[in-house]
Amino acid sequence: MKQVTEPMLSDIRRQRSALSALLHRADEIRHHGATHVAPTDGGRLFTAASGDGWFAARAVAALAGRGYSLPYVPCSSLEFLCYEAPRSRPSDHLIVISMSGNVDRVVEGVARARDRGAGAFLVTNGDGGRLSPLVDARCSLDIPELAPFLCGTSTYTGTLLALWLLLDGVGESADGDADWRFDLRRATDAVAALEDGIATANTFAQGLAETAAASSVSGVRFLSAGPNLASADYGAAKLVELTRIPVWSDDLEEFAHRQYWSMDVGNLVVYLSANDTVATNADSSAAALADLGVHTVLIETAGYPVKAATHRLTLPDVPEWLSPLLFAIPLQLFAYHLARATGLDPNTRRHLKDDPVRFQVSRKLTRRSLIGTGQ
């Protein structure tokens, strides 16, 4: 493996080229959707995934529901294993999302669904690991690994794009809201905008991270709604993977009913806004939290401002269904720079692997089959 300086930052910066490569495969991936993913005879289309794949599956759900009116059911790996795989039918089809192909609960769920005759298609990055022999076909993102144990960035946005293309292949003849249907031109324009967008987001995220670290921020809370509740969960997961700062995510309205009441005023609240109603409610929320001296951050697509926020980053104007792709970039960069600003190395995540007990427990929780392999 060729040595790359600052591999996580390099992974974030290469997302335009990685996504452009996937866009060039649009016909291939759409064909997979039409051939291997479309449910038959009234069947349902499930996803089963953990971690970043689970966030991606939920972030694209609005496209399936509003763009194509598909019977699309995004599931966590455990939810699928416990509740959906045992009642799956031959008319059902499953999109499995796993970059490694080795997460125990995903493997178990797919095996159970296959025993009941359901079809299965794998989105992965490589040969598909233990999942490969369990599925009908697979699509690899083919994004080269820059370093071992790297926090997922380009594979996350790559998964979003692959899922959109698969759903477009499934839903070509389905009814739905035209404003939410996949548009290859809009997706291509959004990917092209990443060239400048990553640089702008990097400057913003670095400044925000340094300010947060200097003020000894006591926690970070990511809030949104709809498809970008999954983006909020993704942002929280990146901070969990890279920092030691407590972090939460929630629906913007539900935050007021549960998280707010125990929140330390030294927390930073981050809003993701790509919808007029979300922006209006985030503006009211930020203004109210200002009474406590809480600092707030808005990351918005153009046209959905939250003027009461302490810090604001405006991303290009894209339809809401595409916004999870753009939101991922500043969230990745904020996690990267906050790790560095608090004395950790996001390019190696040594603070995880150098804690042998915690790392061993993590493998017992999710990948018991890999214990002793060093992975």
Per residue in 224-261, pLDDT (tens digit) is 999 999 999 999 999 999 999 999 999 999 999 999 99
| H or E segment and range at residue 361 | helix 356-366
**Distance (Å, whole) CA 313 – CA 183:** 25
Sorted by where each starts, the structural domains of the chain and their CATH numbers stand as 7-192 (3.40.50.10490), 196-344 (3.40.50.10490)
Determine how many CB atoms are found less than 10 A away from the CB of residue 251. Answer: 16
The β-bridge partners of 258 are none
Q: What does the pLDDT look like over 27-83, one tens digit per residue? A: 999 999 999 999 988 899 999 999 999 999 999 998 998 999 899 999 999 999 999
Write out pLDDT tens, residues 183-196.
999 999 999 999 89
At 139, is the secondary structure helix, strand, or coil? strand
Q: Looking at residue 130, what DSSP letter applies?
A: G
- Check: pTM over 0.75? Answer yes or no: yes
* Mean pLDDT to the nearest integer, 164-180: 87
